[in-house]
Each structure stands twice: as structure tokens, then as C-alpha cells.
Structure 1
Amino acid sequence: MSRRILVTGAAGFVGRKLCAQLNRDGFEVLATDYAPSDDFDVYRTCDFSQPDDITAMMEWAGSLDGIFHLAAITFVPDAAADPAGVMRVNLEGTQHLIQAMRDKSDSPRLIFIGSSETYGAPQSLPVDETHPLNPNNPYAISKTAADEYCSYAHETWGLDIVRMRPFNHSGPGQSDKFVLSSFARQVADIEAGRSDAVMQVGNLDVARDFSHVDDMLRAYGLAFEKGTSGAVYNVCSGQAHSVREALDYLLGQIDVDVEAKSDPERMRVSDIPEVRGSYAAFQTDTGWEPEISFTQLLDDLLAYWRTHS
């Protein structure tokens, strides 16, 4: 009999891909997200800012073996524009989901998708799970609070919860609000003559730990199958690449002279110079390690935008 899995935030960039992977792996997948969708076999809308909606959705889901909780406001500038809203969805939504789990007779395993933003500015590199939590924006604060609540729920009520702290990740299908996808789309548009040979860029000198979304999907699956209950895991590449490096590589794939123009709206007040994580704990427990290179990630993004822009 197929195991039943609920994916929240299923209509998002990672959620769609995770549902597809779980279906391929033989799970019975129930999907939920904020807006109506016809893209899933079993789907229900759920507003994670509304407790009654979460309760009704969990009653609809019935008996479950696992929940992948991705539903969240994830774009940092959006969260900064509505701090109260991001707390309602990211923190309170998680709290209400956990309460609904407690009300079930057969409490499922919860894979909570947090964020490396909980660490804030690194005190040392690479960042491992023992690094102090120092969130420095409303999004990070909301995810940190939800992460800590998951830990509390495991310790206090014995719920089977595994917390994930993914670092930056991207891939085909990601919104061009995010830096690598934005660069790839702009380069594809310039190459095709759809726009002038001018790139709008933010801070090029920051370095981040970027992973391919397909590596993240493998990690989430392994967390469900092999993760230790109550544990928290970083998922990352273990390498830092500057935004300038990404831009230079993508521009090297086209035969056009391009001007990079600084866009103040793409600058973050709290930009951190370098972030690089350690996935050693997760590798020890599950055997996971990244397989897809940074340049392959950029190649995949450019190929996607060449046909989808």
C-alpha cells in the first residue's frame, strides 16, 4: 500500500518538483497551497494565515505517513514589506499545522523546511548546525521562530519532526525575482534580442552557497526516509560562489557585449559578504552529498529561460 504524503506549498517552485518526485517514487501525494490549481491529482486550497483553513485541510487529508511543510512567504523583500503577514504564515501557520498533527491519532513525520537565513551573519565558516541563530530580517525571524517551535514540539510532545535548513538553491522554473534566475533570464532575453544589452544587477560581491534544486529534492526525500527524529540538518553545497562569478559565467555563454547596471532596488540593506555551509551532519545520517555543480546549475537556468522567457 502506498504511503500517503501531504505537501504544503505544493504550487511553489520546489513544491511542484517535490510532488512530482514523490509521485515517481510511488507515494500517494496530497497537495495543498494558497491558490486554486488543476496541476495535481489530489489538491485542496489552504490559506496558512487562517487556523480554521489549516484544521479543515488536515481533516480532508485524513491518515498520513508524512508531511513536507514548504508553505511559506519565501521572498525576503516581500517579507520585509509585510512583517506581520510573514509571521502569520511562516510561524503561526506552522504552529497550527503542528496542533492539527497532535489532534491526529496517527501523527505523521513532519519534514519542516526552514532556512539558512536563521544563522544571520556567520561568525565562522563553514556554518554548521551548532552556529548561533541570529536572524536579521523579518523572513529569517519568522523561519527561526517556526524552526524553534518545531524543536519544542518534538521535545515536549514527542512529535516526529525533522528540521531542514536549506541554503540558497535554484533551478529551472524558479521565479526571476531570485538572483541566479534573474540573471539567466536577462541573459536569455539579451541573446534573443528581446531586450537591450544592459543587465540590471544588485550587489555583485556577495558570495553564497548555491545548490541545484534537484540536489535539494534528493535531500528532502532522504530526510523523510533516514533523518533522525528531532534532528536539524543543513543542506548546502559546502562552497561559496560570488554573484559576480555567476554573472560572468552566464555572459560568457553568449556572444554579446553587455553592460552591467546597478539597480538600487536589488540591493539589500543587510547583505552579508559570504555564506558557506556544512552538510556533514546530514551526510553522516543519510549519506547525502551534492551531485550537481554550480556551472551546471547556471547552464540549466539559461537553457530554461531560452525557451520560457
Structure 2
Amino acid sequence: MRVLVTGAAGFVGTHLVRLLRGEGHEVHAVALPQERLARDLTDVPKHDCDVTDAATLERVFRETAPTWIFHLAAISRAQACLDDPALAWDVNFLGTHDVYRVAAEVVPEVRVLFVSSAVVYGRPAEEDLPLTEEAPLRPGDVYAATKLAGDLLGAEFALSGRLAVIRVRPFNHVGPGQDKGFVAPDFAAQIARIEAGLQEPKLQVGDLTPARDFTDVRDVVRAYLLLMEKGEVGAVYNVCSETARTVQEVLDGMLALSKAGVKIEVSSRRTRRGQPERVFGCAEALHAATGWTPRIPWEQTLRDVLDDWRTRTASVLP
């Protein structure tokens, strides 16, 4: 298939492009002009485009004539959305509208997979767990609201027959290549620096009690591909492991992979207020549609994240 991936230079986009290329698809990457693709993907055609630029989107869609579009481009950090809500709405909602509208006009037979987020479920009540796709929608911040808007707009385009849109709501994902600002890479980066002698053997952590549903990013993008192939137009699918792991479990698993002796220090600066205590999902709809189940063991995921940060840390050593 001829495939277009927006947000192709990001953490998830990079893994998706790798998977698609490995499966033999003709892949075209859409990213901002200042963004660069991973070193092993420099042979993939890159199209400089901001998704809020409808004219450039139209040109790229006409030039590439994709059979599939994976729409990942977004401002994906909650704090960045809080800092600039107007930009968040511009990119995450209006940019998504442009992708849908231009695709419907230029490549009307295309299938589009829109990456929403499980944050649209907000702070779930205990009786709502595990979260299914029918769970109440309670977007509690700007990021969640913008993703839900793009999600529901995709449903409207699909159900009205204007465009074949499939929606996914991924829960937390983790893996090599993820930057700091998330639990696993934050821990891994500090451990790697401690091992290299660049940081005192003190590991700064926030609240270790919340539990989240983590899935390896490589399993996540495999789910995206399977849903593009087999998913029902207009439907929405959770992508999750169906297991809740506490932040403490993430930390313990990471420390078990290192011989560095560290002291744990709880920092209020690393604690996000107003977060739900426990969130995990149900992926039965995804299983039923595609047969997907996670393949990569949890310990392997943590090992790969830690090794990634060991490599990054070694690259800056004198």
C-alpha cells in the first residue's frame, strides 16, 4: 500500500514508519520542516508540512495519492496544551479537520486511522474499570478536550459517508526512543546518568502510587496496522494491555535491571496534581477485530528503554 504518516518524526510515528516499511509498504512521512526522521529512516520520503496548512496538505495528498493515512500529528504533551490552548486547538482539532476535509476532497477512497487518546475518559470511577469504548467521556484538560474533538469529528466524517475513518484510543505507551517527560524514560535517563557517574546516586521521583495501563509502543503500532487492515469504518478501539501497573512497579522493574545503588528521593516538583489513581482499559473490541494481543514482555520493554538511555548518555560522554 501507499501510506502517509503524519507526525512521522515523533516517538510513535518513528516506530510506525519502521513497521510499515518492514512490511513492504511504500511509506511517505509528513513532519514539520525542522523535524528530522530517525537515522535508519532517512531513505523514507519526507514531506515538510504543518497539518494546519491546508494548501500544503492538499499538495502532499495529490503528490502521494495515499491508500492509507495514519494521522498522528498533534501537540501531545498535556502541559504544552495548557501553556498554549489556542495552538493546541489549532493543531489537534483544526489541523485534524483539515486532514479529514482535504483527504475527502483529494483522495476520497483513502482509509484514515486517527490516533485519539484514552485521556478522553478523564478520571474514571472505580466501577467504570476496565474502561471500554462505551465508558463516559470526561475530558479534564485542554489536551483531552482537543483529542476528543478530533475523535468525534472523525466519527462524523465516517458515519456521514464522507471519509473512511477508524479511531483508536491508546492508553499509556512506552518504549525505546521516548523522550523525558514520561515515567519510564525519566527513570531510565537518571539511572543511565548515575551508572555513567554523571549524577549523584539519587533518583528523583514523584508520586509512585498511581497505576496506569502501559503497552510497548511496538505492540501499539502493530495494533494500528492491524486496525487499518481490518478495523470497521466509524468504529473506535482501545489499544491497551488490560493491566494496571503502578509507577512504583515501573521504578522497581527499572532498578532491577541496573547494578547501580541509588537512593530514592520523592520530589513534589515531579508530582502531577489531579491525576486519577488507577486507569486501565479493555481491548476486547481490538482483539475481536484483529486478533491482536501484546507480544513484548514487560521486562523487555523496560530493558530496551534503559538501554536506549544508556546509549544516549554514552553519546555525550567526553
Please confirm whether the aligned pair reaches a TM-score higher than 0.5, indicating the same fold: yes
Deviates more, 1:153-162 or 1:122-131: 153-162
What CA distance in whole angstroms lies between the structure 1 residues aligned with 2:260 and 2:10? Answer: 33
Does residue 254 (structure 1) correspond to residue 258 (structure 2)? The answer is yes
User: Residue 103 of structure 1 corresponds to which residue in structure 2?
Assistant: 105
Deviation at 1:59, TM superposition (A): 3.0
Unaligned runs of 5+ in 1: none
Distance in 1 (CA, whole Å) between partners of 2:134 and 2:9 is: 32
Alignment of 1:153-172 (within 5 A): 153-172=157-176
Query: Superposition RMSD on alpha carbons, in Å?
Result: 1.5
Aligned counterpart for 2:3 among listed residues 5, 9, 13: 5
Equivalence for 1:190: 194
Match of 2:94 in 1: 92
Q: Determine the C-alpha separation between the residues in 2 that align with 1:269 and 1:81.
A: 16
- Decide which of 26, 29, 33 is 1:28's aligned counterpart: 26
Does the aligned pair in 2 maintain the 1:169–1:213 contact within 8 Å? yes
Helix, strand or coil for the counterpart of 2:160?
helix
Say which SS state the counterpart of residue 95 (structure 2) adopts. helix
In 2, distance between residues paired with 1:116 and 1:230? Answer: 17
Deviation at 1:34, TM superposition (A): 1.2
Deviations 1:232-290 (A, max 9, x none): 00000000000011112222332333222233332222211011001001100110011
User: In structure 1, what is the Cα distance between the partners aligned to 2:59 and 2:92?
Assistant: 18
Which residue of the other structure, out of 227, 232, 245, is the alignment partner of 1:241?
A: 245
Q: Using a 3 Å threshold, how does the CA distance of structure 1 residues 183 and 114 change in structure 2: closer, same or farther? A: same
> Is 1:135 aligned to 2:139, yes or no?
yes
Change (3 A) 1:203 1:99: same
**Which moved further from structure 2: 292-301 or 161-170?**
292-301
Contact between 1:64 and 1:106, CA under 8 Å: does it hold in 2?
A: no
2:75 to 43, 49, 73: 73
Distance 1:173 1:147, change over 3 A: same
**Candidates 118, 124, 128, aligned match of 1:122:** 124
Amino acid at match of 1:79: C
After TM superposition, give the deviation of residue 109 of structure 1 in Å.
0.1
Cα separation, 2, equivalents of 1:78 and 1:105: 32
Kept after mapping to 1: 8 A contact 2:191/2:260: no
Does the 8 A contact of 1:64 with 1:107 survive in 2? no
Give 3-state SS (helix, strand or coil) of 2:158's partner.
helix
Structure 1 residue identity aligned to 2:158: H
The 1:40/1:49 distance shift into structure 2, 3 A limit, reads: farther
- Give secondary structure in 1 for the equivalent of 2:75: coil
Partner Cα distance (1:70, 1:118) in 2? 16
**Matched-pair contact (CA < 8 Å) for 1:136–1:270:** no
Residue 40 to residue 100, structure 1, CA distance change in 2 (3 Å) = farther
5 Å-filtered alignment, 1:45-64, equals 45-61=48-64, 63-64=65-66
Letter in 2 for 1:78: A
3-state DSSP of counterpart to 1:157: coil
The answer to whether 1:19 aligns with 2:21 is no
**Which letter does structure 1 place at the counterpart of 2:100?**
I
- For the 8 Å contact 2:97–2:150, the answer to whether it is kept is yes
Give the AA of the match of 2:209: D
Distance 2:55 2:306 in 1: 42
Deviation at 1:179, TM superposition (A): 1.2
- How far does the alpha carbon of each residue in 1:185-221 deviate from its partner, in whole angstroms, 9 at most, with x for none? 1111112212111112122111100000111121011
Aligned to 1:308: 312
* Superposition deviation, residue 150 in structure 1: 0.2
C-alpha contact (below 8 Å) 1:211/1:236 kept by paired residues: yes
CA distance in 2, matches of 1:105, 1:291: 34
TM-score by length of 1: 0.95
Identity score, percent: 39
Deviation at 1:60, TM superposition (A): 3.1
Of 95, 104, 113, 2:115 maps to: 113
Deviation at 1:105, TM superposition (A): 4.9
- For 1:279 and 1:69, locate their aligned partners in 2 and report how far apart those are by CA, in whole Å: 21
Residue in structure 2 matched with residue 291 of structure 1 by the alignment? 295
